[in-house]
Structure 1
Amino acid sequence: MNNAKRKEILTRLRDANPNPETELNFASPFELLVAVTLSAQATDVGVNKATAKLFPVANTPQSIYDLGVDGLKEYIKTIGLFNAKAENVHKMCRILLDQHNGEVPESREALEALPGVGRKTANVVLNTAFGWPAIAVDTHIFRVSNRTKFAMGKTVEKVEEKLLKVVPKEFKVDVHHWLILHGRYTCVARKPRCGSCIIEDLCEYPDKTE
């Protein structure tokens, strides 16, 4: 795919959704960090249901740490892998209190040193909480990037590397939101909804649906 076509795709996605946002509910960088950590192998809807009960009770490193692991589990037990996630979030809170004055660090290295936080989670926090031009490649972005031939790669790391290279600066902060939403609602996994796709004529997927 050439760069002119890529720019037109991004322009259309921006025109359709000028201010894209994550579908996770949060009111602070810490709430976002917790929500993204809980969202691994879980839906945003499921995470939002759990945090809607958790955050009014505990939404700071100290208050969640004070719940204890078992107390935290009670709030997140509807989420997949909740036992491991409760352990990770509890340890994360201790580290934030001990090493970062209870604040979420605006540093990739510091974020990735937290329990349960990998590159994708760090990218989401850096992008959504702090406005970095970071691109968190999840299954939706990986699929859309490869299927459309926008940024092809055999691993999420390769797709992220390609996206950072080919996405113009003006689109970098919002591109991961557009691609996630496009993959979640239009370019879906089993049968893409090509007939209702605003970039169908630009996409290079050979097996388009009606």
Structure 2
Amino acid sequence: MFRRLREANPNPTTELTYTSPFELLVSVVLSAQATDVGVNKATAKLYPVANTPETIYALGEDGLIPYINTIGLYRSKAKHVIGLCKMLIELHTSTVPNDRASLEALPGVGRKTANVVLNTIFKQPTMAVDTHIFRLANRTGLATSKTVLDVEKKLLKNIPAEFMLDAHHWLILHGRYVCQARKPKCGECIIVDLCDYKAKTV
């Protein structure tokens, strides 16, 4: 399965637009229950104006909201981002920490967000399970469970080590564009013969 995904896309990466670890962290926080496209549109206006913990913190919640108010839950996200900036400045010399405990202690950063940052920025073999990966893992039989954490643990156990670093991006892109929720594009799927999904559309 992963050999085919690698052949089709040798260098997968996030679709969020960023130029620094801090920008990626903020973008991932903003992307909760929102699309990467929507987040990129907002940050394309925000980051040229403020893209460090100090400059975003200086905006305050009221100054940040006009940049992100096209994103769902923008008020709570503004609060999280400002709080996150404050903690980075005070506790981490304005740098993004490279360990899970420190990341998850930041406002708005849960296990999934921490995993994205650890994997994408710090090249750690983590698995950030979002709705796409949860669906894909259960459908294919790659990792079946009713809980996100259990799927994450099973994926980490089942995916061969040589593919682990890029596995998160291969799975999320496949779930986003091929193994879609309402009508999976099984006719276009390069791993269809390896998949356990009984309701295939072919």
TM range (shorter): over 0.9
Deviations 1:10-42 (A, max 9, x none): 000011000001000001100000000000000
Per-residue deviation, 1:71:
0.4
The answer as to 2:75 corresponding to 1:57 is: no
Q: Which amino acid aligns with 1:165?
A: K
Give runs of aligned pairs for residues 43-192 of structure 1, distance below 5 A.
Answer: 43-192=35-184
| Identity among equivalent pairs (%) | 67
**TM superposition score normalised by structure 2:** 0.99
Q: 1:198 deviation in Å?
A: 0.4
TM-score, structure 1 normalization? 0.95
Gap runs ≥5 in structure 1: 1-8
Gaps spanning 5+ residues in structure 2: where? none
- Distance (Å, rounded) in 2 between the aligned partners of 1:156 and 1:13: 22
1:104 to partner: Cα distance: 0.3
Post-superposition shift, 1:56?
0.4
- Alignment counterpart, residue 192 of structure 2, candidates 181, 200, 203: 200
Say how many residue pairs are matched. Answer: 202
- Superposition deviation, residue 142 in structure 1: 0.2
CA RMSD across the alignment = 0.5
Deviation at 1:149, TM superposition (A): 0.6
Deviation at 1:172, TM superposition (A): 0.6
1:95 maps to amino acid? M
Which of these residues, 29, 54, 62, is aligned with residue 21 of structure 2? 29
Q: Structure 1 residue runs of 4+, over 6 Å off?
A: none
What CA distance in whole angstroms lies between the structure 2 residues aligned with 1:20 and 1:142?
A: 19
Letter in 2 for 1:150: L
Q: CA offset at residue 62 of structure 1?
A: 0.2
